Structure 1
Amino acid sequence: MQEQDRLFIGGEWVAPSGTRTIEVVSPHSEQVIARVAAPGTEDVDRAVAAARTAFDEGPWPRLDPAERVAVIRRLGALLKPRRKELSELISAEMGAPISFAKLSHVTLPLLMMGAFADIAENLAWEEPRKGFYGQDVLLRKEPIGVVAAIVPWNMPLFLTIGKLVPALLAGCSVVLKPSPETPLDAYALAESLAEAGLPQGVVSVLPGDREIGEYLVAHPGVDKVSFTGSTAAGRLVAASCGSNLKRVSLELGGKSAAVVLDDADPAAVAAGVEIAGLMNSGQACVAQTRILVPRARYGEFVDALAAMVEALPVGDPSDPATKVGPLVARRQQERVRGYIEEGQKEGARLVVGGSDLPAGVDQGWYVRPTVFADVESSMRIAQEEIFGPVLTVLPYSDDADAVRIADDTEYGLSGSVWTSDVERGLAVARRVRSGTFGVNQAYSMDPNAPFGGVKASGIGRELGREGIEGYLDVKSISVAPPS
């Protein structure tokens, strides 16, 4: 069993202020696989103080951007040989199927690091502009300050890299709070951060519970909070930041729709929805779990989706053949089972799956991949984020009706449209209110393009040039010739 009795504060491994620990439990075996030190509020104070000093007095925000890019490239080089280790850690701590962990949890964020470095190299850090009154104006992009980056358990390294690296490239110092369910990959990252050449104080890593997160968000030494999590928690973060006029970006929940047009192929749609709707065992904010299909072909698409879901290998996440692993915790398993039972009570038709354990599974926090048909948009299973392997299939009449149903939710994070006519698909994509959208694919988290949501799915954007600019302020300097 892995043991870690130190905290990573300001670039150093130090003793915690208290004696509490976090137990990491395998979602597959339900056994404790690691024990790490739990931070207290005094440790948050130490981390923020170190970050504050590093930003206010240290060299990091004052370096030429090219020097920060070099450090990030060095960090990427240090992490690359650790891909197998990181994949296995993430699979063990949160139950992601190992094949998905290798690609999406680890390989993609490492590729993202290189893309972010390329963007920073080509960013216009200073830009001259002609002023309205004839004077010259210099626009200068400067780091916001100390950033609190709060990351959930479902895509821990991916989301960490999406916050940490752009903030560092901008010149900020960062206090990173991973989820207590997934501290192991964060500590592995911290080990490489210690080798990468960051100045003292620039990064701290404090895996902690909600209390630690709330304390960090409200800390007067923090200039910006970057939060990914549930919409309910995001509202509390926004309220705290608003009362202190603190910058905030929020990447929150989703209940995205896959709009299937009447010219789409059922088999191709089912294959696409396997990724779009059931990636990471359904534990993804971008999961497209509302499948909108034309009423005239409803039965064909329901049958194709049911066949795909029934054939999915469910089981040990360390097995490369596994497509659906366990959910992260017992509370999540119980939550998803509750929604499956609620869907049946609401009158939806259970086509595949159910609330009992999958065949051949007698332990672990598993849920059978499930398909509901005859779903109405007003049902809870069609409105609320379930965060598990549950698909709801809704009928629609025409393209306008499909767009209406797609928008009939408080969320607006992602979505897709499936069709043999790309122009028709683009027309639908342009009409749905969503921050991201895919045509004949699940929206890919492209590091060169901004990612984020509208409505209750969040505020601000990550990834792309916009992701780095989210950690920058723009200073306008007017310049007049000497008199």
Structure 2
Amino acid sequence: MTATDTPLPGVSGTPATFESLDPRTGDVVGTHPVHDADAVAAAVARAEDAAQWWASLGFPERRRRLGEWRKALVRRIDDLARVVTEETGKPIDDARLELVLAIDHLDWAAKHAERVLGRRMVLPGALMSNQAASVTYVPIGVVGVIGPWNYPVFTPMGSIAYALAAGNAVVFKPSELTPGVGVALADSLAEIVDGRALFQVVTGFGETGASLCRAPGIGKISFTGSTATAKRVMATCAERLTPVVIECGGKDPMIVDADADLAAAADAAVWGGMSNAGQTCVGVERVYVLDAVAEEFIAKVVGTARTLRSGSTGDYGPMTSPAQVDVVRRHVEDALGRGGRAMVGGPESVQQQFIEPVVIVDVPEDSTAVTEETFGPLLVVNRVPDVAEAVRRANATGYGLGATVFSKNRGEEIATQLRCGMVAINGVISFAGVPSLPFGGVGDSGFGRIHGADGLREFTRPQAVARQRFPLPIAVTSFRRSSRGMKALLGVVRLRYGR
């Protein structure tokens, strides 16, 4: 779910503002402009000039300046964390953790951009041995980033940091629920880039995001949000053939093998399902545990989940998006209505702002609690006879973002069978914290990659160059080509490749 899920309020053409609210209290924490199409186009035009300057600096200078930004973010980490907490309601240490991970990714991208994207020679092959072949990765220019509200720093920075390290300028459209976070991030970089429009923020609702997709100077859009909204973003970008990176939601499974460390698995399941109030696209929503250890595992999950409390000073905060409360309520009711058994909580756990932990077992696989993304503190635990059945069920949805496997001996074997972009073995969400690993999904979870070398290349265009070092004795790409020359060439091909 992102800003593009909400319609633009007010009268078309009328200057407008909107308020950012603290979801814990409803208090106003900021007022921001609704940027219209003209304002967005002007921001992109400024970014085009900044992109040329930034690209001309080269890798060493960009690395130095991004290093200064990293230091500035560290100095401001508490101030930025407070903004995150005010706009999302998440505990302050959760906000700090999000910033720590984003800073680590920024550092990695800046330090590895030249190695990954710099000019490299490639072998030309036997038939083209007279050529010197090379590949370079050229910046796209201006990258538009449309970010979510659940992790308003870490998730968009997976695009912003890598796009900047690759030599691009960025125009960022944060969710309307967390605009202040985006503004604070951009402000932290401004002085380091001499006030140039390298990283700008446009705020507003769905139409602002659509204007960013339509802007002529945008070279690529990186979007994070719901699958339904992603399809609208893609349709809008298709008007100008603007390429996109799409990271949508997930219905991420956990598989618990018979030889798993059950205490660690239960702890991971509860944290993966309940932290950030369950509002994590790569969190744990479904658990498939083998019959042989199901009772013991479920008992440990229940024991841990019962100790958790939501609230302003609880283990996790409120639902950041009010609309998500109804989704969680519907999934809980459907799971119980179809025969699932509530082990922790139930319908009464779903309140107006805060949702207490809910654990339901033995839920039919056609329940919406199993088939649709819940994005709330609901954990479904189902028993399976063997790993093969666990894998089958794990792969049964249209989503394919992340997954978790707990097994002492078969973790990697099970991981290779899962249809998803990332797998954590004997841990949870660990892949997101490793800067060198690509992050992204398949199917309804999207396509393209952020993070790692793949994430750097995602924000460039490869340019292939072949330079002739000396002419071939047989002219084949010329009207001077003779039948004798072609006969000789075919002889070489038959000798080399026909045996």
TM-score, normalized by length of structure 2? 0.87
Moved over 4 A (4+): none
Structure 2: gaps (5+ residues) = 1-12, 472-499
Deviation for aligned residue 1:106: 1.2
Query: Quick check: 1:68 aligned with 2:62?
Result: yes
Q: Give the SS at the match of 2:207.
A: helix
**Shift in alpha-carbon separation, 1:35–1:357, aligned structure 2, 3 A:** farther
Deviation for aligned residue 1:401: 0.8
Deviation for aligned residue 1:292: 0.5
Q: CA RMSD in A?
A: 1.9
Q: Give the SS at the match of 1:323.
A: coil
Whole-angstrom distance in 1 between the partners of 2:281 and 2:121: 40
1:260-314 deviation line (CA, Å, top 9, x unaligned): 0112243222111122222211101001110101123333222221221111132
| 1:463 aligned residue | 451
Whole-angstrom distance in 2 between the partners of 1:36 and 1:218: 22
Query: Quick check: 1:352 aligned with 2:326?
Result: no
Deviation for aligned residue 1:121: 4.0
Give the 5 Å matches for 1:246-265. 246-265=242-261
Q: Give the SS at the match of 2:317.
A: coil
Deviation for aligned residue 1:89: 1.2
| 2:27 aligned residue | 31
Deviation for aligned residue 1:163: 0.9
| 1:119 aligned residue | 112
Deviation for aligned residue 1:473: 0.9
Q: More deviation in 191-200 or 408-417?
A: 191-200
Whole-angstrom distance in 2 between the partners of 1:382 and 1:124: 41
Correspondent of 2:369 among 333, 356, 381:
381
Q: Is the 8 A contact 2:173 2:202 kept in 1?
A: yes
Q: Is the 8 A contact 1:30 1:364 kept in 2?
A: no
Q: Give the SS at the match of 1:280.
A: helix
| 1:342 aligned residue | 334
Query: Quick check: 1:231 aligned with 2:223?
Result: no
Q: Give the SS at the match of 1:196.
A: helix
Whole-angstrom distance in 2 between the partners of 1:429 and 1:264: 14
Q: Is the 8 A contact 1:176 1:206 kept in 2?
A: yes
Deviation for aligned residue 1:244: 2.9
Structure 1: gaps (5+ residues) = 1-16
Give the 5 Å matches for 1:21-420. 21-55=17-51, 58-103=52-97, 105-132=98-125, 133=128, 134-197=130-193, 200-316=196-312, 319=313, 322-357=314-349, 365-420=353-408
Deviation for aligned residue 1:406: 0.8
Q: Is the 8 A contact 1:253 1:413 kept in 2?
A: yes
Return the letter of the residue paired with 2:419. Answer: R
Q: Is the 8 A contact 1:377 1:408 kept in 2?
A: no
Q: Is the 8 A contact 1:179 1:209 kept in 2?
A: yes
Q: Give the SS at the match of 1:333.
A: helix
Deviation for aligned residue 1:148: 0.8
User: Percent identity between the aligned chains?
Assistant: 34
Whole-angstrom distance in 2 between the partners of 1:19 and 1:241: 25
Whole-angstrom distance in 1 between the partners of 2:210 and 2:233: 8
Whole-angstrom distance in 1 between the partners of 2:293 and 2:435: 36
Whole-angstrom distance in 2 between the partners of 1:186 and 1:219: 20
Deviation for aligned residue 1:69: 1.0
TM-score, normalized by length of structure 1? 0.90
Whole-angstrom distance in 1 between the partners of 2:326 and 2:406: 32
Whole-angstrom distance in 2 between the partners of 1:89 and 1:457: 29
Q: Is the 8 A contact 2:362 2:381 kept in 1?
A: yes
Deviation for aligned residue 1:419: 2.1
Return the letter of the residue paired with 1:80. Answer: V
Return the letter of the residue paired with 2:354. Answer: Y
Deviation for aligned residue 1:364: 6.1
Whole-angstrom distance in 2 between the partners of 1:136 and 1:223: 30
1:140-185 deviation line (CA, Å, top 9, x unaligned): 2101122110101000111122111111111112110001100122
Aligned residue pairs: how many? 454
Deviation for aligned residue 1:108: 1.1
Whole-angstrom distance in 2 between the partners of 1:206 and 1:106: 21
| 1:8 aligned residue | none
